[in-house]
Amino acid sequence: MANAMLLPVLISFLVLPFSAMALTQDFCVADLSCSDTPAGYPCKTGVGAGDFYYHGLAAAGNTSNLIKAAVTPAFVGQFPGVNGLGISAARLDIAVGGVVPMHTHPAASELLFVTEGTILAGFISSSSNTVYTKTLYKGDIMVFPQGLLHYQYNGGSSAAVALVAFSGPNPGLQITDYALFANNLPSAVVEKVTFLDDAQVKKLKSVLGGSG
């Protein structure tokens, strides 16, 4: 019993020195020449002011595509200064009639701030499949919890723009439609797991570039 009670104390003494070292390091700008790891990129040497600055969100994204929307990221791969800080950003442009299909960010929560236009957005809880939707106007914000399926689409008559903040330097992205229909998963399998018929599956695979 005494040994069992001492174990958490011993673990605390082992962990605290590493926590203290982490707190004394102001930042760790990513060395993008190295591989990413679960703990982030290694720190690069020769850091300058430019590592903490990014102009990439100033220009509108190209919405001339199937979904009429564009996401311009400022993740660690584009903005090395966010490495290890637990944050990143993006710009979202949605043309009239555009949509960001149902998707998830497995590694971060999302905070969306509308700067222009009208965006209809929502997410689905994992426990009860409850849908939470809202129409967002200029100046509105909405949060999308980490890992939950969510979507956005333009609900107005003009282009919509939003700035997005994430609670991680590399939030990840999986779009449900592309996961199902833009790969080589056999149509017969897709039909079984989605309850769609063969013609529907093959049509979606054709539109999204899948095979099988």
Helix 187-194 and helix 198-208, axial crossing angle in degrees, nearest 10: 110
Distance between CA 22 and CA 187 in Å, rounded? 49
| Residue 172: closest CA among 106, 78, 81 | 106
157-182 CB burial, b ≥16 within 10 A, e <16? eebbbbbbbbbbbbbebebeeeebbb
How many beta carbons lie within 10 A of that of residue 108, not counting itself?
Answer: 23
Q: Is 55 annotated as a binding residue?
A: no
- How far are the Cα atoms of 29, 140, 179, 182, 201 from residue 186, in angstroms, in the given order? 42, 42, 12, 11, 10
Calpha distance 39→84 (Å, rounded): 8
Q: How many Cα atoms are found within 13 Å in the side-chain-facing hemisphere of 104?
A: 11
**Residue 191 is labelled as binding a ligand:** no
* C-alpha to C-alpha distance for 50 and 45, rounded to whole angstroms: 13
From the annotation, which residues make up the binding site? 103, 105, 110, 150
From the annotation, which residues make up the binding site for oxalate? 105, 110
From the annotation, which residues make up the binding site for Mn(2+)? 103, 105, 110, 150
